[in-house]
Amino acid sequence: MKRIFLILAIFPLAFIGQTVYPASAGEGKMSSLINERLQEVLKKGVVVIVEEPPVEHKQFVTAGIWINAPREEVWKLVTDFVRYPEFFPEVETVMVLKSEGNARDVLHKVKSGISVLPLRFSYTLRFVLEPPGRMTWSLVGGDLKFSDGSWELYEMEGGKETVVFYRITYEIVPKGFLVKTVIKYVSEKNPVFGVAAISATALTVVKSVKDELEKKK
């Protein structure tokens, strides 16, 4: 069984593949050790980082994972929006509403749940593609108060494998008295409810992408 590592703190991500220019040889050695350790952890499971402090009252979470597939295959999958319902368990429908240059306006219809309470909502995100390895998004409209995030893909093992970092924040605007009451109650009883929900989303997304790409290997 794959291990899952939950890190409740923010640290500078030693993005693998980038060159580090240390102030001293000692710092260079430490950076190398951290980089090596991060690679070891990513190969064992998912790293989930809860960023502190929140940015403009938005709680960001980053999930990192090692995928045994070339970056071009990962990029092709995460930018093929209409295929999302095939491998993201809570996504019911996706439609590309607008395509202009590197921007895509994409409608998502999602079925989720809070405990046994079903929850359906829809929203439109504007994705900005920066091939071959970065994509960002922001909210256009829908049943969310906000949603921002990014994909970052880094080549590993001579381009045969990929390290993926998925960064996300969002807040749902609950519809209906019952849903609003439940969310308010759970949030008051458990102040980290929102962080847990975002963390679960980030973990599910990167794990789903990995499983989809590696299922035939």
pLDDT (tens, 9 = 90+) of the chain, 217 residues, equals: 434 334 333 333 333 333 333 344 455 666 677 688 888 888 888 999 998 877 778 899 999 999 999 999 999 999 999 999 999 989 999 999 999 999 999 999 998 765 556 678 899 999 999 999 999 999 999 999 999 999 999 999 999 999 999 999 998 887 766 666 766 666 666 667 788 889 999 999 999 999 999 997 6
Choose among 88, 10, 7, 2: nearest CA to 47: 7
Domain 3-214 annotated CATH 3.10.450.50: no
Choose among 83, 72, 44, 28: nearest CA to 208: 83
From CA 150, how far away is CA 42, in angstroms rounded? 18
Report whether 109 contacts 124 (CB < 8 A): no
Instruction: Give the model's pLDDT for residue 39.
Output: 87
Q: Beta-carbon neighbour count of residue 156 at 10 Å?
A: 20
- 0.85 exceeded by pTM: no
Question: Residue written as tokens 């940015």?
Answer: 55
Sign of CA dihedral 185, 63, 104, 55: positive
Instruction: Give the model's pLDDT for residue 193.
Output: 72
Q: What are the two backbone dihedrals, phi and then psi, of residue 48, each rounded to the nearest 5 degrees? A: -115, 125
In the three-class reduction of DSSP (H, G, I as helix; E, B as strand; rest coil), residue 112 is classed as: strand
Instruction: Give the model's pLDDT for residue 101.
Output: 97
Segments in 129-192 forming alpha helices (H): 177-189
End-to-end CA distance of the chain: 17
Instruction: Give the model's pLDDT for residue 114.
Output: 54
